[in-house]
Structure 1
Amino acid sequence: MTAALRPATRADLPAVLALIAGEDRVVDPAAVEVTEAHERAFAAIDADPRNEVLVLDGPAGDVIGCLQLTYIPGLGKGGAERALVEAVRVRADLRGSGLGRTLMRAALDRARARGCALAQLTSNKHRTDAHRFYTSLGFHPTHEGFKLPL
């Protein structure tokens, strides 16, 4: 399947939210409520040069994959910038078709072109298929992550 990666626009927000909601099923973007909080978050991401949501368009022009890249300057690694990869999703009925690999490779190429020295991500401990996928891309489980709701 041919797919094209591009920066998301406001018009893509329902499709992106449907992908995020559709962890194990296909969700119709028309059924997704785009809240004011979503609007504010997307506007902030879109205005920030260190942040981008990327979408993967299918042959019919529909959004079939997405992820968010955040570029983080740091004092470690010799002051190198790193890329944080989040919200990686491929439409449930298209998983296993190589689109996730296409999406991630394109995102990593963008991070390299920007000069990032490292890409990092977190993945829910229960998503063992995702862990195998990330390992197949060369990621290593080097750290234990912690979260605290605020």
Structure 2
Amino acid sequence: MSAEPVPARVLTLRPATRTDLPAVLALLADEERVVDPVTVTVTEAYERAFAAIDADPRNEMLVLAENADGEGAGGTVVGCLQATYIPGLGKGGAERALIEAVRIRADRRGGGLGRTLMERAIARARARGCALVQLTSNKQREDAHRFYAGLGFVRSHDGFKLGL
């Protein structure tokens, strides 16, 4: 008796929908462990923030979703990032893409999902006409720094933040 074939897995980068919000918040809640989206409380503040991102043509909350081949468009959210497209007078008036909140589900790291997420987001920015992609990363996240360097990012500036 032969074993049933395992369906191929299909990865899709797409704008997040409201139904993805608990999964996105679960990814953002803890980088070191998997948080079950069912346990996440979606507050009114999160609802407002998601609605504002969703309504703004210069902002995208993107999810990397994994589906079994032939399984529909939803899928299991295994990664996310937010892309903001910033107009500017530098670089000949071209937009730049700012990428933030990059996360891959803790139990799925190390298998290339982060690379897929970032490469597809970069391709999306390029197709939009962006002249560059920029991001910041916490100084203590040395593994992340090596990851971004492996994608071709270079340390060109020091970043500063002021909490308000």
47, 59, 76: which one aligns with 1:39: 47
Map residues 1-150 of structure 1 onto 2, 5 A cutoff: 2-59=10-67, 61-150=75-164
Amino acid at match of 2:24: V
What's the TM-score, normalizing by structure 2?
Answer: 0.89
| 53-62 vs 34-43, which moves further | 53-62
Assess if the C-alpha contact under 8 Å between 1:19 and 1:65 holds in 2: yes
The one-character-per-residue Cα deviations of 1:124-145 (angstroms, maximum 9, x if unpaired) are 0011000000000000011111
Say how many residue pairs are matched: 150
Query: Which runs of 4 or more aligned residues in structure 1 lie more than 4 Å from their structure 2 counterparts after TM superposition?
Result: none
Q: Following the alignment from structure 2 to structure 1, what is the Cα–Cα distance between the partners of residues 30 and 36?
A: 9
Structure 1's unaligned 5+ residue stretches are: none
Q: What is the CA distance between 1:5 and its match in structure 2?
A: 1.0
Q: Following the alignment from structure 1 to structure 2, what is the Cα–Cα distance between the partners of residues 34 and 120?
A: 29
What's the TM-score, normalizing by structure 1?
Answer: 0.97
Q: What is the CA distance between 1:59 and its match in structure 2?
A: 2.8
Q: Following the alignment from structure 1 to structure 2, what is the Cα–Cα distance between the partners of residues 8 and 59?
A: 15
How large is the Cα RMSD of the aligned pairs?
A: 0.9
SS at match of 1:12: helix
Larger radius of gyration: 2
The one-character-per-residue Cα deviations of 1:79-135 (angstroms, maximum 9, x if unpaired) are 110000010000001111000000000000000000000000000001100000000
The one-character-per-residue Cα deviations of 1:27-72 (angstroms, maximum 9, x if unpaired) are 0001111111111110000000000011011235210100010000
Assess if the C-alpha contact under 8 Å between 1:22 and 1:91 holds in 2: no
SS at match of 1:58: strand
SS at match of 1:2: strand
Q: Following the alignment from structure 2 to structure 1, what is the Cα–Cα distance between the partners of residues 157 and 19?
A: 36
